Chain A
Amino acid sequence: MGRLSQGQMIAAVGGIALLVAMFLPWVGINGPSLPSGAQLPGGIDTSTSENIWKGSSLDIYLLITGVVAILPALLAVTDSSEEFSFVSAATLLLGAVAVILVIAFLTVDFPDGADRKIGAFIGLGAAIVIAIGGFRAMQEEVAGEI
């Protein structure tokens, strides 16, 4: 793990957080409102929540972004000698685009009448961390080449 730069570690933490956040609730859907005075039996809840895997092509993109972000850490853990010169730039690029896509999902593309849940905000934060990690890793690579 000592071979990992600070930027790569930041990106890897963001990547793991993003992959975990994808399984948390992103969209909350409330059931129909009951007539006043009516009550459901105990244990029955008309509201439900969905994670990002259901009904959005954002899931595949975020999966690719998370995997690319943790790739250098995975290679370090497995003691692989492989090095990809474009990984830091790719991490920055994919992270930055992920931030734009998650913000678009939370604003213009969000289902009408649904609630934004914690997973969406953790996912947005994780995407920002990935972009920052990728940017820092690129800077460290450039500094190492001088």
Chain B
Amino acid sequence: MDTNRLSQGQLVAAIAAIALFIISFLPWFDISGAVTVGGTTIGGSKNFNLWQAENPLDIYLLIVILVALVPAALALLGDGGDAPMASMATALLAGIGTLLILYQIFDTPGDLDRKVGLFLGLIACAGIAVGGYLSMQEDVGGERY
């Protein structure tokens, strides 16, 4: 596998996409509560990763990951044909994904608390967007369109 076949932007987007996939299994949200019965307080909490929270964000971010990884995989496998508009699609979808995660940070669904996965996911998704943008610049510079 020759990573020199990947452009810098594709490499950044692919690494960030793999990171986002791993991060999706970390806790993103947490719900906690406590009850007092006869002077004794019983509390508990439950973590949710991206896939467990009932939220369309999981499907969307899976699409972002696939869109970022497929062009890199095709380049690594030596498929000569460029996926047309792949860089633009990566930058656009990941940029919107970053906005959606940011929105979740400020407007957490229900009574859920924010956990580390949400913040790491934001950084990884922003990384994919940056990689897509760099790849777009490289495409224009190399006159691949």
Residues of A within 8 A of B (CB): 55-58, 60-61, 64, 86, 89-90, 93-94, 97, 100-101, 104-105, 109, 111
CB contact between B54 and one of A97, A100, A111 (< 8 Å): that residue = A111
CB distance from B36 to the nearest CB of A (A): 27
**Given A55-B110, A93-B93: A60 in contact with B103 (beta carbons within 8 A):** yes
CB distance from B44 to the nearest CB of A (A): 22
What secondary structure prevails in chain B residues at the interface with A? helix
CB contact between A100 and one of B55, B63, B89, B110 (< 8 Å): that residue = B63
Residue of chain B at shortest CB distance from A65? B96
Complex Cα distance, B99 from A93, in Å, reads 17
Confirm or deny: B6 has a beta carbon within 8 angstroms of a beta carbon on chain A: no
Collect the chain B residues with CB atoms within 8 Å of residue A57's CB: 55-57, 100, 103-104, 109
Contact B88 A104, beta carbon cutoff 8 Å: no
Interface size on B, residues (CB 8 A): 19
Name the interface residues of B43-65: CB closer than 8 Å to any CB of A: 54-57, 59-60, 63
Contact A60 B99, beta carbon cutoff 8 Å: yes
**Given A93-B92, A93-B93: A60 in contact with B56 (beta carbons within 8 A):** no
Collect the chain A residues with CB atoms within 8 Å of residue B89's CB: 89, 93
Complex Cα distance, B54 from A100, in Å, reads 16
Complex Cα distance, B63 from A56, in Å, reads 18
Contact B96 A104, beta carbon cutoff 8 Å: no
Confirm or deny: B85 has a beta carbon within 8 angstroms of a beta carbon on chain A: yes
A57-B103, A60-B99, A93-B93 given; 20 more Cβ-contact pairs under 8 Å: A55-B110, A57-B55, A57-B57, A57-B109, A58-B56, A64-B99, A86-B88, A86-B92, A89-B85, A94-B92, A94-B96, A97-B63, A97-B93, A100-B59, A101-B56, A101-B59, A105-B56, A109-B55, A109-B56, A111-B54
Residue of chain A at shortest CB distance from B60? A101
Report, nearest first, the 10 A-B pairs whose CB atoms are least far apart. A104-B59, A58-B56, A89-B85, A101-B56, A57-B100, A57-B57, A93-B89, A105-B56, A109-B56, A86-B88
**Given A55-B109, A57-B57, A58-B56: A90 in contact with B63 (beta carbons within 8 A):** no
Contact B60 A109, beta carbon cutoff 8 Å: no
Name the interface residues of B8-63: CB closer than 8 Å to any CB of A: 54-57, 59-60, 63
Complex Cα distance, B99 from A115, in Å, reads 29
**Given A55-B110, A93-B92, A97-B93: A61 in contact with B59 (beta carbons within 8 A):** no
Residue of chain B at shortest CB distance from A104? B59
